[in-house]
Amino acid sequence: MLKQCSLCGYTYVEGYLDTEIAHDKRHNKFAQSIAPAPCLMLEPYLEQYPEGAWIDRGGPSWLREEIYWRAKLFQREFGYDTPQWEIDGRSDPSAIGFAFYDSDYRIIGASCFRPDHTSDERMRLDWVWLCPSARRQGVLMSHWIKFRDRCGIFLIEGPVSTAMLKFLQRHFPDHRVSKPYISYPTRPMERFSDIKQ
Ligand SMILES: CC(C)(COP(=O)(O)OP(=O)(O)OC[C@H]1O[C@@H](n2cnc3c(N)ncnc32)[C@H](O)[C@@H]1OP(=O)(O)O)[C@@H](O)C(=O)NCCC(=O)NCCS
Ligand SMILES: [Zn+2]
């Protein structure tokens, strides 16, 4: 029977091992982004870069890949066509990623900034995505000033989610949203909150 996974969107044929294996491979990446295990590579990375898990095109591919899967989750949650991050960064060399992590070095989310060529070259926050269990815990709030220190009063790429809109309206109304429209999740990731590590 043909099946489509509600979490990762992969279509596979039940009973056909090759398609089931391909699905498992992709599905695990989605599940690990929702319920992350501690990341062994992160602690040594942060010893080298104590300012936080920022990453540009020259950064290590394991961290670029971690950011990529959060971009995929963001894409999937809002029904967008493409992930806004490349592992190799070949056609998007100026994108700068950031990984959010908890006290056990679990990567609980990610975001991406880019220079905005339509404005005065200010930075723009393109997307930010946290796993459902990390939401409404003050994670974004606790990073915002750090982001401003690095990127100034950066623009926010629209459309924005209602959560982001509320966040900005209540706390940081001085940031301009480039396309002031709202996007609604087509698959709210809270639905998958029962996934365990
Ligand atoms: C948007 C997002 C990054 C916010 O990060 P967060 O760490 O959960 O936000 P915080 O906990 O720091 O929120 C701080 C304050 O912002 C406001 N806020 C944040 N999310 C809100 C929500 N869903 N509804 C209403 N207010 C919200 C509240 O005032 C909140 O304070 P409170 O929890 O004490 O009421 C996170 O919800 C997320 O990843 N959502 C899915 C992806 C997404 O929407 N990305 C933005 C795309 S434009
Ligand atoms: Zn799946």
Q: Is the CB of 123 under 6 A from ligand 1?
A: no
> Can you give the pLDDT at residue 124?
96
Average pLDDT, the chain: 96
Q: What is the DSSP string of 25-54?
A: HHHHHHHHHHSPPB-TTHHHHHHH-TT-EE
Question: Could you report the per-residue pLDDT of 5-16, keeping only the tens digit for each?
Answer: 999 999 999 999
Same domain, yes or no, for 87 and 145? yes
Whether 121 has a pLDDT exceeding 80, the answer reads no
* Residue range(s) defining the domain that contains residue 45: 36-192
Does residue 173 share a domain with residue 92?
A: yes
- In this prediction, residue 143 carries a pLDDT of 98
Whether residue 9 lies inside any domain: the answer is yes
Same domain, 40 and 2: no
In a domain, 167, yes or no: yes
Domain CATH for 123 = 3.40.630.30
Proximal ligand: closest to the CA of 136: 1
CB of 154 within 8 A of CB of 123?
yes
* Same domain membership, residue 176 and residue 157: yes
Is any ligand 1 atom within 6 A of the Cβ of residue 137?
Answer: yes
Output the CA 93–ligand 2 centroid distance in Å.
30
Q: What does the pLDDT read at residue 117?
A: 82
Q: Quick one: 143 and 53 in the same domain? A: yes
In-domain check, residue 101: yes
54/109 same-domain check: yes
Instruction: Summarize pLDDT for 124-176 with one digit per residue, the tens.
Output: 999 999 999 999 999 999 999 999 999 999 999 999 999 999 999 999 999 99
Q: Is the pLDDT of residue 194 over 90?
A: yes
Average pLDDT over residues 52-72: 97
For residues 24 and 61, membership in a common domain is answered with no
Q: Do 100 and 144 have their domain in common? A: yes
Task: Please name the residue whose Cα sits nearest to atom 23 of ligand 1.
Answer: 163
- Same domain, yes or no: 112 and 169: yes
- 46 and 91 share one domain: yes
Q: Whole-prediction pTM value?
A: 0.97
For residue 176, the CA-to-ligand 2 centroid distance in Å is: 36
* Cα Rg of the chain (Å, integer): 17
| Residues 73, 10 share a domain | no
The runs of H, that is alpha helices, within the chain are: 17-34, 42-48, 61-78, 139-151, 162-171
Tell me the longest C-alpha to C-alpha distance in the chain: 55
Q: Residue 183 burial by CB count (10 A; 0-12/13-18/19+): exposed, middle or buried?
A: middle
Ligand 1 and 98: CB distance under 6 A:
no
Across 87-95, average pLDDT: 93
The domain tally of the chain equals 2
- Beta-carbon contacts of residue 79 (< 8 Å; ≥ 6 apart): 185, 186, 187
* Among the listed residues 128, 127, 122, 73, the one whose alpha carbon sits nearest the alpha carbon of residue 100: 128
Same domain (yes/no): 110, 149: yes
Domain membership flag for residue 197: no
